[in-house]
Amino acid sequence: MTKATTMETEDATQLRTYKKFPLNVVRGQGVWIYTDDGARYLDLYGGHAVAITGHCHPKVVKALRRQAERLIFYSNFVYNDTRAKAAAKLVELAPEPLKQVFFVNSGAEANENAIKLARKLTGRSPVVSFEGGFHGRTMGALSATEPVKYRESFGPRVPDHHFVPFGDLEAVEGILEKGAAGVLLEPIQSIAGVRMGPPEFYTGLRQLCDKWGALLIYDEIQTGMGRTGELFFSSREGATPDMMTLAKGMASGVPMGALLVRRKLAANVGPGDLGTTFGGGPLACAALLATLEVIEKEKLLANVRRQSKRLRKRLVSIPGVVEVSGLGFLIGVRFAGEARPVQRSLLEKGIITGLSDDPSVLRLLPPLTLKKPEIDLFIEVLKQCI
């Protein structure tokens, strides 16, 4: 299909739920995507943090092809060798004691199940989340999402969700002391403008949850799978949560999510408590295994730590950039004015970036394979665009 035909067909047949870039993307390789007319774009958005290993990494493609020839799908009513290997590898790498996993299809589904499990295991209803936090668009996850624009047309919310200012431990305790099931947070609030708290915020949450018997849940849909330079944010700050949710890039673009749970809590979960038709399918599990292998063998965590330092150093030297926030390859670039004109100009010059709910912040969510030449190219183009 030509670009015009593709755009006309999608607009005529799909609900118009997205403001799309005027690009007909037909191919991807590494940190680049290509349109039908042969133009290429440096992808610093990663398909919204999904292209962890780059586009069409050959090891992921090979794993999918091999699995598709053996078994495309069977449900969780049977055992499967690929699922078993994927689960074993994921929990091996997860921080102690997050050593039981429930595979699902998306981040919203993972968060839904985390909320359900917190309520079941504590026998309480209230859930605390944070102003600026985004946890998904299904009704339970949406009810834990604070920005009104995402939920104002879909009320009423699921009851007993409470919002407090991000970083405010006193406000958290004010709800926990009355009895709550859990605290749900993005360790780094991505869409809010790439905001994070000081180390004592995370350790303080752990202490408060222990004090009042609530469960601490990290939404690592964007911070997980190496984006911050560690495989999981949950390994940082000495404040391991009771549950952790994953999605986005965990299968390099194949739809997949996961909920990891502490061993002691998992002992109280039985048949019928949670369920999913497609979660943990063989294709997604094969892609997860290949993704973890690429991250490990190609030393992508070290690459993120090294290259993100270079990227941040170069960004802060640019006139017009007033702040650089985040960790690793989850970066917020704050400008003195609005970020949208900069994003638009970058797109015209062949570079894809993201925006946020903070109009001054541009978001960078590139593949973990991003290297020095592409960083230098981006910096030079950005200087022209400001």
- pLDDT at residue 236, as a whole number: 84
pLDDT in tens, the chain (386 residues): 788 899 999 999 999 999 899 999 999 999 999 999 999 999 999 999 999 999 999 999 999 999 999 999 999 999 999 999 999 999 999 999 999 999 999 999 999 999 999 999 999 999 999 999 999 999 999 999 999 999 989 989 999 999 999 999 999 999 999 999 999 999 999 999 999 999 999 999 999 999 999 999 999 999 999 999 999 999 887 899 999 999 999 999 999 999 999 999 999 999 999 999 999 999 999 999 999 999 999 999 999 999 999 999 999 999 999 999 999 999 999 999 999 999 999 999 999 999 999 999 999 999 999 999 999 999 999 999 98
The neighbour count for residue 153, using CB atoms within 10 Å, is: 6
Q: Which amino acid is at 57?
A: H
Cα atoms in the 13 Å half-sphere on the side-chain side of 386:
20
- pLDDT at residue 238, as a whole number: 80
Total domains in the fold of the chain: 1
Does the global pTM surpass 0.85?
yes
Residue 173 lies in a domain: yes
Residue in the block written with tokens 């892609």: 287
- pLDDT at residue 270, as a whole number: 94
- pLDDT at residue 3, as a whole number: 83
Burial of 78 (0-12, 13-18, 19+ CB in 10 A): exposed
Residue 223 lies in a domain: yes
Residue 133 lies in a domain: yes
Residue 145 lies in a domain: yes
Residue 119 lies in a domain: yes
- pLDDT at residue 4, as a whole number: 86
Residue 287 lies in a domain: yes
Write down the mean pLDDT value for the chain: 96
> Which CATH number goes with the domain that contains 205?
3.40.640.10
pLDDT in tens, 38-79: 999 999 999 999 999 999 999 999 999 999 999 999 999 999
The domain of 287 spans 59-297
Residue 85 lies in a domain: yes
The Cα–Cα gap between 112 and 378 comes to: 37
**Are the C-beta atoms of residues 382 and 318 closer than 8 Å to each other?**
yes
- pLDDT at residue 376, as a whole number: 98
Residue 359 lies in a domain: no
